[in-house]
């Protein structure tokens, strides 16, 4: 190596040497190159993953609602029949 080092030279990038000039570096971000690369593929699989993890939270209430609705319709049909009227009169 040429030159003598007398103690602390400075932190990285500031070592006391002459400033570099004429070196210009440009680069483009990987996000700016293809901003929508893989968006459709990721949307399909991400949506499937998110929906499948939440399926129990909307299938169970829909099933309960369907059961209650079916039972209520059957009970209503029974009460509007001749046997239902007779049963209702005995309760009153």
The residue among 63 and 35 whose pLDDT is bigger is 63
Digit-coded pLDDT (tens) for 39-50: 888 889 999 999
Q: What is the DSSP letter of 28?
A: -
The alpha-helical segments, DSSP class H, found in the chain are: 30-33, 39-79, 82-91
13 — pLDDT class (breaks 50, 70, 90): low
21 — pLDDT class (breaks 50, 70, 90): confident
Report the alpha-carbon distance of residue 48 to residue 46 in Å, rounded: 5
Closest CA relative to residue 3, chosen from 13, 22, 18: 18
Mean per-residue pLDDT, 25-44: 81
User: How high is the pLDDT of residue 77?
Assistant: 95
Question: What is the average pLDDT score of the chain?
Answer: 83
């Amino acid at each position: 190596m040429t030159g003598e080092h007398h103690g602390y030279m400075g932190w990285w990038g500031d070592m006391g040497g002459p400033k570099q000039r004429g070196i210009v570096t440009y680069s483009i971000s990987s996000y700016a190159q293809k901003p929508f690369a893989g968006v459709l593929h990721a949307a399909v699989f991400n949506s499937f993953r998110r929906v499948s993890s939440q399926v129990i939270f909307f299938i169970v209430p829909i099933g309960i609602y369907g059961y209650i609705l079916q039972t209520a319709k059957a009970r209503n049909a029974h009460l509007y029949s001749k046997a239902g009227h007779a049963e209702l009169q005995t309760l009153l």
